[in-house]
Chains A and B, each alone.
Chain A
Amino acid sequence: MALTVDEKSLKHGVLTLVVTLVEVIQEALERQALRRMEGGDLTPEETERLGEALLELDEAMKEIKDEHGITVSVADLHRGLDEVVDDVVDKLVNPARWAEEAGPGGGSGTGTGTGTGTGTGTGGAR
């Protein structure tokens, strides 16, 4: 299968990737900002400045996404990352799933104990 990479698709792809990563960072910043505001050692003036700056960042991100038409693909990629994380966490929490995924007959050594113990055994459909 031949891949055609033209300027447009390249720009679209790279931009989507970059903007998604910035979005992840932005989300982390917003949540930490919330913690700091609740922490109570910021002055009201600082709180307001922080809130305004984050709002401005959010508006700027929206503008960039709309302008380049990557809103949908960014949401897709962000969601894809979420799914991967969900999957990995799920496996770490339920080592039983590994044996399940290895399929019948592949039930070899169980995973190295992840220290959660007590397999909650939400067994999949069989």
Chain B
Amino acid sequence: MPDRAPAAPAVPAVPSLQPTRDPRVTLDDLLEVVLNKGAVLHLDLIIAVADIPLIGVNVRAAIAGMETMLEYGMLRQWDEATRAWAERSGSRGLELRDGERLITRMFGGHRLTGEVYSGWRPGSVHLTDRRLVVLRREPREVLWEAELAELESAALETERAVGGEDRTRLRLRLRDGGEALLSAAEPERLHRELLEQTPGAKALAAADGGGGGTAGPAGKDGHEGHLWYHEPRRGGAMWRGGRGRLDAGGLSWKSPVDARPALVLAPGDLLGVRLEERDNPAGSPYTLVLDTPGGEVVLAADALPDWTGPLHRMAAGGTGQEDGESPERRRDDGGPHR
């Protein structure tokens, strides 16, 4: 299938008022068009058995973005009432005590470790000059709260998420023996500002809570630049240009006309890196072939050496982390005769 770029029509019959469309339509685009235009459905349905009607359905529905709804004069009062109610219900942020000052606020969460459910509960972390609070806005709940005076120590630790990515977390210990693990958008900044507020707390060195980070720092082992990707499609693969990005999180490739990366490769999925002499649109005789569990990924770049080095290192470092959690299968050599 050749490129479906809007080519000049051979016979410019009616050059104006021709329907046009992007070379790629995404589900999100489709949904946006539907919501912006609005859709109305009137449906009458009779369910019959042996020509005897038994159940009747009559549906009248309209769905549209609120802006479109208001344009057509629908739901206007409700919209206003909803917003007025939110206005009346007052501040939604953290209620500060008298004389309390908000130092910083960022997205974050609190790790709940319970009997039934353990997991991260996202919200936002508020640091004031007296308290540290993790607050969830909708539905409103204080997920975790501690007085700074109660804080014994704060340490940054690295945690390996299930996805194999290293995340920096903040572990707090309180004087009463309580403990909490918080996530934050900028954990280092939160840690620093927290310690500035509580000189009495010990800043413990970062404890390494996961298998030592094998992935190098993004700065040293990362690379970003133009990259060609031989994208597999239903009608056969085709070369497309775009930007590749290689960092500790893996390799991703995105075309400027796409809404999201077409290629996302975690470090552990890179099994091998080869150079092969194949035709490619870049100015190099060699094409880059990556072996992955899902098959070959074919790339081409004008500046190959910039990519091959980091990729080789990623392939070498991305192994050796298999979860050795196969359930033990005891071979039951039961009695000789049962």
Which A residues contact B (CB, under 8 angstroms)?
Answer: 24, 27-28, 31-32, 35-36, 39, 41, 46, 49, 52-53, 55-56, 59-60, 63-72, 75-76, 78-79, 81-87, 89-90, 93, 116, 118, 120, 122, 124-125
Contacts and interface: CB of A to CB of B under 8 A. Distances in A.
Interface in B29-74: 29-32, 35-36, 65-67, 70
B79 to A, nearest CB: 9
A55 B107 contact: yes
Contacts of B266: 72
Interface string B232-256: 0011000000000000000000000
A32 B65 contact: yes
B35 A28 contact: yes
A27 B28 contact: yes
Nearest to A82: B26
Contacts of A36: 65-67
B163 A79 contact: no
Given A122-B4, A122-B7, A125-B2, A116 B19 contact: yes
B66 A32 contact: yes
Contact of A85 (B4, B27, B234): B27
A56 B123 contact: yes
Given A66-B167, A120-B18, 4 more contacts: A63-B109, A64-B122, A82-B27, A116-B19
B24 interface: yes
Contacts of A84: 27
Interface string B282-326: 000000000000000000000000000000000000000000000
B29 to A, nearest CB: 8
B31 A69 contact: no
Given A70-B163, A89-B25, A93-B19, A53 B138 contact: yes
Contacts of A81: 27
25 contacts: A28-B31, A31-B32, A32-B35, A32-B65, A36-B67, A46-B86, A49-B92, A63-B120, A66-B161, A66-B167, A67-B120, A69-B163, A69-B165, A72-B266, A72-B269, A79-B260, A82-B26, A82-B259, A83-B234, A86-B25, A89-B30, A118-B13, A120-B9, A122-B7, A125-B2
A106 B68 CA distance: 43
A72 B185 CA distance: 21
B260 A66 contact: no
A85 B25 contact: yes
A78 B297 CA distance: 19
B196 to A, nearest CB: 24
B19 A66 contact: no
B205 interface: no
Nearest to A94: B4
Contacts of B116: none
In this complex, which of A49, A56, A125 has the most chain B Cβ atoms within 10 angstroms of its Cβ? A56
Given A27-B28, A32-B65, A124-B1, A56 B124 contact: yes
A93 B261 CA distance: 26
A118 B9 CA distance: 12
B85 to A, nearest CB: 12
B246 to A, nearest CB: 15
Contacts of A49: 86, 92
B158 interface: no
Contacts of A89: 21, 25, 30
Contacts of B83: 46
Nearest to A69: B163
A70 B165 CA distance: 11
Nearest to A93: B21
B264 interface: yes
B199 interface: no
B25 to A, nearest CB: 5
